Structure 1
Amino acid sequence: MLSIAGVLCALGLSYASVGQARITDVVLFGDSYTDQSRQHSIANGTYPGKDYQEVFPPNDTAADGGVQWPWYLGLYGNYTVWNYAVGGAVCSNDWTPLYGEPDVSSGQQAWFIQDHIVTSNNTSHQMLTLEPSSFVVVQFIGTNDVGIGSFLTADEAANVSLPNVVDCQMNSFRTMHVLGARNFILNSLIPLQLTSLYSNSSAPTIYYPEVHDGNAWNKGIYNLVHSLNRMLEDGINALNAEWAGDGRVEWFNTYNLFETMYNNPAQYFNGSIPANVTGHCHQCPDPDDYTQCGIGDCTLAERDSYMWWDELHPSEQTGRNLAAEIFKKIEGNSQY
């Protein structure tokens, strides 16, 4: 019996690399850094169904306080965007069970299968409804795997280490490869030590409303991010060798992009006040009371001056910059 890859080969479909074919669709897996609305939909009891494509706003906002970067990516490249990311997600709930949101390796990929895989005549034969050379899979996960509630605070599952997280991400690509995908981009983790949540301050925040050892957190997250990024990059090199040209994963250095924005703020942030890469726009005056969040927020005119929306999440303007570079990556000409 032919596998899905065998079926596609028999049909004569090509597996051009990113930048070598006209990409029309982008498939996204990830967490709140990418999610446009799925986590809110789940929380509101309207579990996303087939072909779910809701984008915030106008009904609500994403974790960046407005429109998330995938919307801008679709705009810049005239792509159809299939965004399966969920706020609070990890790569696998078996390894780093944080909030139990649909993870990349099972829940999010199940949505992709629901939308794009058809089974013919009640048999095991499956067919991908997307042309393999016309879409790219972008995976941007790991922030929740390494942070509070997981490795940083020693809350990961027993007998779990960072290599398990790497294996999860590589195996997620293998699953998509079997389903017919051939173009992939893996986003590295960002420099989380630059966020307020993981700074060297020990003050309570809305995401961790307790006094903590900020210096230890700052050093710890720096180590975890760099370790995981190094292992992920090694993993995709091994995966590309394994596939021997039948599909390819491109590395996108999100860490370096964010570091560049942080070090050159005037080039990237252009609101009505001077660029601000150390503070954040969205304020929660009492870390124990979510209902007070929003008191003291920056104005709409000031938003594009900020790199960060809140203690953890990038701003909408940062997302625009990310989308512009991901677009360049898909087109084959990004320095990252």
Structure 2
Amino acid sequence: MFFSPLCCLVLLTARVWGSPTTKAVVLFGDSYTDQSREHSITNGTYPGKDYQEVYPPTDVAADGGFQWPWYLGIYGNYTIWNYATGGAVCSNDLLPSFTVPDVIGEQAAWFIQDHVLNNGTKNQKLDMDPSEFVVIVFIGTNDVGSSSFVTDSQNATVSIADLANCQIQALRNLHTLGARRFIVNSLIPLQLTRLYSTSSAPTIYYPSPHDGVAWNKRVINFVHTLNALIRAGVGELNDEWQGTAASVEMFDTYQLFEDMYNHPANWFNGSIPANVTGHCHQCPDPDDYTQCGIGDCTLAERDSYMWWDELHPSEQTGRNLAREMWGKLKGISQY
């Protein structure tokens, strides 16, 4: 296989960043990462200090099973602190129609509650060695999607640049608390999901009439713009932190998902041929959640699907992400 000098330089840089001492991973995000926090809130048991029931046996995540951080913890033997909450955005101040704990506010507050000692005094101290854990932020799907930019529901004064600045500021805030190693995930190609495809047919996530072609074009624009702005912000942070122990990497989730979509046989291995255009979990009536599950694929077929439902990746897609993120933490992933 041929590698260009640039390619090799990128991989070498990643190897230097990779640390064999990583013992824990701290995650912030939305339903693409959350295992049970949103369900806990919905059920009235708001997660408190040291909430560890992130993988209760009776719960399933938005991918229909275990989320990718659980597999990441297994692959790397890491302790996982998962603060992601389904339905979240980076900041509820920017998008006030969203009310679940956001990344920059309430999710960060959980981290402070769990890991920052003597909070509120000049003597506050992180209870983890900064060289032994990595912070991963994976947010943006709800920020740009339906009920936000795709449907023109955002405040008139809020721009895509504000969304990117929020993610970068979230990293700065965590750096101030003592974190030093960061990964920020790019948005996935949302246009590949059923919800943001060119189809105008109703879905369980948006049962109202809509212009699918227009949505598809808009989401492509917003995803690429936000990803480009975040990438620029990552570069600015590394310049800002140059000469210190702090660094931030961007994980190219967009490219990973494109590769899975374009080369499915390399990534999916269920009992039927790989399927990257359909989804396993069916909701026959988009106006009736109680019918969801009728016509689902079988357990044996699940690993053949890239998508669990109209918006969320499948558990097998999550395994693929976890494996590549494990490679990223070791400094060897191409993403």
TM-score bucket (shorter structure): over 0.9
Q: Is the 8 A contact 2:191 2:216 kept in 1?
A: yes
Q: Does 1:173 align with 2:176?
A: no
Aligned to 1:103: 102
Aligned to 1:287: 286
Provide the aligned length of Structure 1 versus Structure 2.
320
Pairs within 5 Å for 1:18-29: 18-29=17-28
Aligned to 2:6: none
Counterpart-to-counterpart distance in 2, 1:321 and 1:53: 24
Computed over aligned residues only, the root mean square deviation of the Cα atoms, in angstroms, reads 1.3
Distance 1:123 1:335, change over 3 A: closer
Counterpart-to-counterpart distance in 1, 2:68 and 2:112: 23
Deviation at 1:255, TM superposition (A): 0.1
Counterpart-to-counterpart distance in 1, 2:188 and 2:121: 43
Q: Does 1:277 align with 2:276?
A: yes
TM (normalized to structure 2)?
0.93
Between 1:177-186 and 1:54-63, the stretch displaced more is 54-63
Could you give the per-residue CA deviations for residues 217-266 of structure 1, whole angstroms, max 9, x where no partner exists? Answer: 01110010000000100011011101113211101000000000000101
Which of 228, 232, 237 in structure 2 is aligned with 1:230? 228
* Equivalent AA in structure 2 for residue 155 of structure 1: S
Counterpart-to-counterpart distance in 1, 2:258 and 2:50: 35
Counterpart-to-counterpart distance in 1, 2:322 and 2:283: 28
Aligned to 2:89: 90
Q: Which runs of 5+ in 2 are unaligned?
A: 1-14
Q: 1:258 is paired with a residue of what secondary structure?
A: helix
Deviation at 1:58, TM superposition (A): 1.9
Deviation at 1:23, TM superposition (A): 0.3
Between 1:169-178 and 1:92-101, the stretch displaced more is 92-101
Aligned to 2:117: 118
Q: 1:29 is paired with a residue of what secondary structure?
A: strand
Deviation at 1:17, TM superposition (A): 7.1
Counterpart-to-counterpart distance in 2, 1:179 and 1:18: 21
Aligned to 1:262: 261
Q: Is the 8 A contact 1:17 1:133 kept in 2?
A: no
Counterpart-to-counterpart distance in 2, 1:35 and 1:233: 24
Deviation at 1:156, TM superposition (A): 1.0
Deviation at 1:123, TM superposition (A): 4.1
* Equivalent AA in structure 2 for residue 80 of structure 1: T
Aligned to 1:157: 155
* Equivalent AA in structure 2 for residue 284 of structure 1: C
Deviation at 1:124, TM superposition (A): 3.0
Counterpart-to-counterpart distance in 2, 1:292 and 1:302: 20
Deviation at 1:196, TM superposition (A): 0.2
Counterpart-to-counterpart distance in 1, 2:146 and 2:178: 35
Deviation at 1:158, TM superposition (A): 3.0
TM (normalized to structure 1)?
0.93
Between 1:158-167 and 1:275-284, the stretch displaced more is 158-167
Counterpart-to-counterpart distance in 2, 1:66 and 1:320: 11
Distance 1:306 1:330, change over 3 A: same
Counterpart-to-counterpart distance in 1, 2:167 and 2:149: 16
Which of 209, 212, 215 in structure 2 is aligned with 1:211? 209
Counterpart-to-counterpart distance in 2, 1:225 and 1:266: 26
Could you give the per-residue CA deviations for residues 25-64 of structure 1, whole angstroms, max 9, x where no partner exists? Answer: 0000000000010000000000001111213452121000
Deviation at 1:330, TM superposition (A): 0.5
Q: Is the 8 A contact 1:56 1:66 kept in 2?
A: no
Deviation at 1:18, TM superposition (A): 4.0
* Equivalent AA in structure 1 for residue 66 of structure 2: V
Counterpart-to-counterpart distance in 2, 1:57 and 1:49: 15
Q: Is the 8 A contact 2:16 2:331 kept in 1?
A: no
